[in-house]
């Protein structure tokens, strides 16, 4: 049963810690990324059940091109595999998929798969899954600033964020406490939650706990707003 409390929430997740998770187990970084990718489906299913409207996952930052070629190739292969194996499941689940970020640096075949996946899931209304790939929030803001079609703040925001609402809750796994150029405009008023657990170990129970903490934070904020209004 969906919870009205989380309806239409935009959840952003920085999926960090794959490499350290792998190193602690004597595995390659690519194997760590593979384990992280395998954890996406249960998180999306849990988010949909909670009534969340949008989930944006940080999968590949623009600066990740600087990583070793073998690791980058592995990440590209994981995206290709995800598009091949998950689209039918996303369609059945009513999940719309879009990718945000640059596409001009991706292989032509991969860009085509992305476009086909977006087209096949375009009618999904239960949840909007956005994957940030070859993404930089600063680049998105700069590109919007160069676009002369924006005549007001709302139009500028649409150029930066597309049709996604502002982020309500941003989770970063892996222990680091920074945004790393992820959804900077959209996260202006987001609640931030930094989790020590690496992404491959972050499962549905941990997401539910994060949502419960967010609910408590929002209740305290709503209470503070009511008290301020009464005092005024």
pLDDT tens, position by position, 158-178: 999 998 999 999 999 999 999
CATH top-level class of 4-231? alpha beta
CA 82, 88, 202: angle at the middle one, nearest 5?
50
Q: Count of CB atoms within 10 A of residue 152's CB? A: 7
- Ranking 33-47, 98-112, 159-173, 208-222 by mean pLDDT, the lowest is 208-222
Q: Where are the domains of the chain?
A: 4-231
What is the rounded average pLDDT of the residues 6-22? 91
Quick check: 2 pLDDT over 80?
Answer: no
pLDDT of residue 224: 67
Q: With a threshold of 0.85, does the pTM exceed it?
A: yes
pLDDT of residue 192: 97
29-38 helix and 69-85 helix, angle to the nearest 10 degrees: 20
Cα 154 to its chain centre, rounded Å, is 22
The catalytic site residues sit at 16, 64
Q: What is the DSSP letter of 151?
A: -
pLDDT of residue 3: 41
Quick check: 221 pLDDT over 80?
Answer: no
Quick check: 4 pLDDT over 90?
Answer: no
């Amino acid at each position: 049963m969906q919870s009205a409390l989380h309806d239409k929430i935009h959840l952003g997740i920085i999926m960090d810690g794959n490499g350290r998770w792998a190193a602690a187990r004597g595995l390659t970084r690519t194997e760590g990324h593979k384990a992280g990718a395998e954890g996406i489906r249960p998180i999306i299913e849990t988010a949909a059940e909670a009534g969340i409207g949008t989930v944006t996952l940080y999968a590949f930052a623009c600066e990740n091109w600087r990583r070793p070629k073998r690791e980058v190739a592995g990440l590209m292969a994981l995206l290709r595999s995800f598009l091949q194996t998950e689209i039918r499941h996303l369609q059945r689940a009513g999940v719309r998929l879009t990718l945000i970020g640059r596409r001009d640096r991706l292989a032509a075949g991969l860009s085509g798969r992305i476009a086909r996946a977006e087209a096949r899931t375009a009618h999904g209304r239960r949840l909007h899954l956005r994957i940030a790939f070859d993404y930089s929030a600063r680049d998105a803001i700069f590109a919007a600033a160069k676009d002369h079609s924006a005549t007001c703040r709302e139009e500028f925001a649409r150029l930066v964020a597309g049709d996604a609402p502002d982020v309500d809750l941003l989770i970063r796994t892996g222990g680091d406490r920074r945004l790393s150029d992820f959804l900077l405009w959209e996260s202006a008023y987001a609640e931030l939650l930094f989790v020590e657990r690496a992404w491959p170990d972050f499962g549905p129970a941990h997401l539910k706990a994060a949502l419960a903490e967010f609910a408590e934070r929002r209740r305290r904020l709503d209470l503070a707003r009511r008290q301020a209004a009464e005092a005024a």
